[in-house]
Structure 1
């Protein structure tokens, strides 16, 4: 992980307005995939899951602070204007079995 980045559990729900043309949604979804790969390559996106059949994602994201997370990371996602996010700051747990790996 890049230095001085904190981890956040982020739950994102996407709600595309009904008047947005399908072509625009498709364009943004394709750009979203590219941006997610870029953020993963820089260590900003660590893990990402989608609950079955739901228009939301749950992920582990990294940023200097929550403002950085919302502006420089999540705010760069092409679908961000249609997203709402619940952000939970995380800290290491002393009993984390993955801490030794």
Structure 2
């Protein structure tokens, strides 16, 4: 099942730079794992914001939640999810 996921991460201003950089590296590594698994299909940046839009493919909403929650920065992330259904023009 495909999902369009919009998320924006807002790390605390009080977070030390070294911790912020470590967290970003862990986030990048986990995203690469999710790509390798076929869970994270595409990512786009939203110009002018620290927001990202992603196309995800999981068995269901519970698996999507588990994948999103596995991202190290998840506690500081605002997430909006839209389930996607195939449009009749896309069926082949």
Query: Which bin holds the TM-score, normalised by the shorter protein?
Result: over 0.9
| 1:1-101 aligned within 5 A | 6-71=1-66, 73-96=67-90
Listed one character per residue, the Cα deviations across residues 14-70 of structure 1 (whole Å, up to 9, x for unaligned) are: 111111111111001111111111100100000000011211100101222212211
Give 3-state SS (helix, strand or coil) of 2:18's partner.
Answer: helix
Larger relative helix fraction? 2
What is the number of residues matched between the two proteins? 92
- Structure 1 spans left out of the alignment, 5+ residues: 1-5
Q: CA RMSD in A?
A: 1.2
Give 3-state SS (helix, strand or coil) of 2:41's partner.
Answer: strand
List, as ranges, runs of 4+ consecutive aligned residues in structure 1 with deviation greater than 3 Å. Answer: none
**TM-score, scaled relative to structure 2:** 0.92
